[in-house]
Amino acid sequence: MWKVVWAALLLQVPVCAQTVQSEDNHEVKDTRKLGHVSVIIVGGTGDLAKKYLWQGFFHLYANQVSSGYSFSFYGGGLSPKDKATPVLFEALKNVTCPLDLSVERCALVKEQFLKLAEYRQLVTLEDYQALGKQLTEHPKQEGVTEAGRLFYLSVPAFAYADVAEKINASCRPSDGTWLRVVLEKPFGHDFSSAQLLSAQLATSLKDEEMFRIDHYLGKQVVSKILPFRKENSKHLDPVWNKHHIERVEIVLKETLNAKGRIPFYDQYGVIRDVIQNHLTEVLTLLTMELPTNLSDSKEVLKNKLKIFSALEHLERHCAVVGQYESYNKEVQEELNKTKEHYSLTPTFAGVMVYIDIAQYEGMPIILTSGKMLDERLGYARILFKNDIFCVQSHNNVHCKPKQIIFYFGHGALQYPAILVSKNLFKPDLKDTEWKEVTEQNDLHVLGMPISDYYVLTPTVQREAYSELISQIFHGRKDSFISTENLLASWDFWTPLLHSLANAPSRLYPGGVDNGNMLDFKLLGREATFANDALVFITHDDMGGSGVESFQVMQGKYRSAEMVSAWSEELIVRLAAEIQAAAESAVREGGRFHLALSGGSTPLALFQRLAHYHYTFPWRDTHLWMVDERCVPLTEMDSNFRTVHDHLLQHVKVPYFNIHPMPVQINQRLCVEEDNGALLYERDISQLVNTSSFHFVLLGVGYDGHTASLFPSSKLDAHRESLVALTESPAKPHQRMSLTLKAINQAQKVGVLVMGKSKHELITQLSRVKDNINKWPITGIRPTSGRLVWYIDYDALLG
């Protein structure tokens, strides 16, 4: 069969004229020497294969057929051969030719392509063994060497490990022949599942054999981002930074719903479906350091990785989420759920991202995507600051927005394009595969008439999958996701995803009716919807109490003052009281001494202080630690690290005013002879007037501990000191802590307790008598200062 195909092609292919002239064996052999490539799409009759993959492989075939390779194509699947073969051929018949092929040649190439394809049932190991045998024998029978085997796994992700194992066991080619295995997202659901999947795959495949595909990287505009940045570096280098860029927007708007894909979609939602992968990849391309060699995949991936590790940690408040109204009904129907079932999966999200690199510090990057929006459109926009104030000539080009738009496709502009505002610069065009669009029309792109832009577009439009399939064939890896980059991306997204797990979603009707409901704004580092919500779904709607009151209540707890409210309100109140204490201390003595605890409870407070208290006298504030775990300060476990990440790095406290506990001295941790506790005590005595902090923030643990003063910590032993080494029953055991003496000398002590899980403790503590060895928190009795309990309703009322 192969010989027939070959001869037919030679006769028709003009670029092979040389070979056609001499149809002797010698010439033919020469051209064939590159060898045979077997392509196997596992899941070859599935939707993706039908829509994109066969088309992509057909283009590969059409482009390579005269290059000296021969091919065979297998569509693999679970169905028996007689049932699936017609389905496969129906899909194959629908492929279209590359535009540069004449009608006659197209018909011929397509006919040959169909002849080279067959269906294989691939279920058992025996099926794969039989396939492996055929992959080896077929080229031998045809008298050609084998160049490579390309497996495309277009199957659900749960099947990856199993299929990879079978390929490894029975379809691995002999040395000298390449094996490439292509995987489609999802590559996990969060960091740990991605890590597990990567570990499982690594037992069967080498990293260089795996090609994790993200089809956005095959879109012509996306793959042009780096070359465009390089070609125009003389214009871009001076302005590609926080000083000139107002913000970056990376947007994928869709009009479709999730119908038909709910079993997948409901588990993933919009962030996992498109933001963690497609939009994040675009973000890295826009912000990464330009590689010296754009096709050096190692350098490209390494530079991307640097961006991943510089992305600022995402908090819950960095995102807004929504769900289109009919989504839940679709879920009930497709997943056979009852009318009481509510899905919390977001179908819309807007996320604010910041990069902690001097070049981009403080420059907002907005990633947003949603189903059921008003239009289908994908783009990345770099909006530059405009330093010209236009007094009256508003239509002058210099008064208009300055922006560069990487227009991925869809939308009003029917072609992919890069648009550069004419008031920026005229882009250089060195690439013959791109051209400038000069014809004018009255289209508007992101608020500006198209005539205000220089517009570049590819000379020939190509499908993303065709592009990537060609790169896989050539073994180029720069547009694929390495294991390291994949895990770095999940590492970045997972905390946000977890914090959104039960988050309320704004319901939106869909399409143009959404109006301005999904518009969101930046408030400090926070993203919030710009307009009031009409309807929210929350966990409470699903059986909780759903209390709407946000009032603050004042009372007494353990005969001390108590402030109670819902958690958000409580934090607002506590932050305001700390600022008031700071202002009064600075007014009176020029300095404010604040001692902070670690743990997770005060995080919301730190964030509130960092992002809302613009007039806080940070310059005159000294920050001390209430207690510390004996670990290096850079570790996530360290209390100082928490304060650093959530507060210090966002506010301007002079370096000299920051006082971490000296847990590490002489390269060892909390060794008595190193006198760390004494050193801290000396610092306090020297800097804090009468060693009396203005404000000490405490928490309380389930066992009644506070600071690092645990039950039976022999608290009496450090009656005279201000700082002591203590022991915790939990790891890491060794701690350094302010003593009861130091805390009780403070002018104000606030104990913050939040969450339902603390309700039992709060109930118990309300009844117990003072007993510092059993309940160290009961030892907090400021000698002349005030003690205030800040307890949220969850902890107070359960």
The binder of ligand BG6 chosen from 266, 273, 281, 620 (CB under 6 A): 273
Q: Which helix (H) or strand (E) holds 535?
A: none
| Minimum distance, C-beta of residue 274 to ligand BG6, in the bound complex (Å) | 5
| Minimum distance, C-beta of residue 137 to ligand BG6, in the bound complex (Å) | 37
User: How far apart are the C-alpha atoms of 316 and 318, rounded to whole Å?
Assistant: 5
Q: Which helix (H) or strand (E) holds 566?
A: none
User: How far apart are the C-alpha atoms of 398 and 616, rounded to whole Å?
Assistant: 38
Question: 246 — phi, psi (to 5°)?
Answer: -75, -50
| Minimum distance, C-beta of residue 378 to ligand BG6, in the bound complex (Å) | 5
Identify which of residues 216 and 228 has a Cβ nearer to ligand BG6 in the complex: 216
Identify which of residues 151 and 465 has a Cβ nearer to ligand BG6 in the complex: 465
Query: Residue 559 in 3-state DSSP?
Result: coil
* Number of residues counted as binding ligand BG6 (CB under 6 A): 5
Identify which of residues 146 and 273 has a Cβ nearer to ligand BG6 in the complex: 273
**Bridge pairing between strands 621-625 and 658-659:** parallel
Q: What is the DSSP letter of 502?
A: T
Identify which of residues 252 and 696 has a Cβ nearer to ligand BG6 in the complex: 252
Output the six-digit token pair for 676.
């760390």
| Minimum distance, C-beta of residue 480 to ligand BG6, in the bound complex (Å) | 15
Identify which of residues 348 and 360 has a Cβ nearer to ligand BG6 in the complex: 348
* Distances 334 to 169, 260, 267 between C-alpha atoms, Å: 37, 8, 13
User: How far apart are the C-alpha atoms of 149 and 127, rounded to whole Å?
Assistant: 17
Site string for ligand BG6, 223-262 (x = CB under 6 A): -----------------------------x-x--------
| Minimum distance, C-beta of residue 370 to ligand BG6, in the bound complex (Å) | 11
Instruction: Return the CA Rg of the chain.
Output: 32
| Minimum distance, C-beta of residue 269 to ligand BG6, in the bound complex (Å) | 10
Strand ranges for 492-541 from DSSP E:
505-508, 520-523, 526-529, 536-537
* Distances 654 to 24, 591, 649, 659 between C-alpha atoms, Å: 83, 12, 11, 11
Identify which of residues 465 and 606 has a Cβ nearer to ligand BG6 in the complex: 465
Query: Residue 458 in 3-state DSSP?
Result: strand
Q: What is the DSSP letter of 204?
A: T
User: How far apart are the C-alpha atoms of 642 and 622, rounded to whole Å?
Assistant: 17
Strand ranges for 525-570 from DSSP E:
526-529, 536-537, 553-557, 560-565
The binder of ligand BG6 chosen from 274, 285, 517, 715 (CB under 6 A): 274
Question: 182 — phi, psi (to 5°)?
Answer: -100, 135
| Minimum distance, C-beta of residue 462 to ligand BG6, in the bound complex (Å) | 13
Sign of CA dihedral 284, 290, 293, 294: positive
Output the six-digit token pair for 480.
């694929």
Query: Residue 594 in 3-state DSSP?
Result: strand
* Per-residue burial over 687-702, b = 16 or more CB atoms within 10 Å of its CB, e = otherwise: ebeebbbbbbbbbbbe
The binder of ligand BG6 chosen from 378, 660, 662, 750 (CB under 6 A): 378
Identify which of residues 407 and 710 has a Cβ nearer to ligand BG6 in the complex: 407
User: How far apart are the C-alpha atoms of 529 and 543, rounded to whole Å?
Assistant: 26
Q: Which of 59, 189, 215, 278 is flagged as catalytic?
A: 278
Output the six-digit token pair for 146.
């084998």
Helices then strands, counting H and E runs in the chain, come out as 26, 34
User: How far apart are the C-alpha atoms of 629 and 676, rounded to whole Å?
Assistant: 13
| Minimum distance, C-beta of residue 704 to ligand BG6, in the bound complex (Å) | 50
Question: 594 — phi, psi (to 5°)?
Answer: -120, 130
Identify which of residues 184 and 315 has a Cβ nearer to ligand BG6 in the complex: 184
3-state SS, one letter per residue, for 48-112: HHHHHHHHHHHHHHHHHCCCCEEEEEEEEECCCHHHHHHHHHHHHHCCCCCCCCCHHHHHHHHHH
When CB distances to ligand BG6 are compared, the closest residue is 273
* Per-residue burial over 608-626, b = 16 or more CB atoms within 10 Å of its CB, e = otherwise: bbbbbbeebbbebbbbbbb
Closest CA to 380 of 462, 276, 284, 491: 284
| Minimum distance, C-beta of residue 38 to ligand BG6, in the bound complex (Å) | 27
Q: What is the DSSP letter of 18?
A: H
**Residue 426 burial by CB count (10 A; 0-12/13-18/19+): exposed, middle or buried?**
exposed
Identify which of residues 465 and 557 has a Cβ nearer to ligand BG6 in the complex: 465
Identify which of residues 209 and 273 has a Cβ nearer to ligand BG6 in the complex: 273
Does 463 sit near ligand BG6 (CB under 6 A)?
no
Determine whether 36 is an active site residue. no
Identify which of residues 188 and 701 has a Cβ nearer to ligand BG6 in the complex: 188
Identify which of residues 372 and 754 has a Cβ nearer to ligand BG6 in the complex: 372
Binding footprint of ligand BG6 on the chain (CB under 6 A): 252, 254, 273-274, 378
Residues catalogued as catalytic: 278
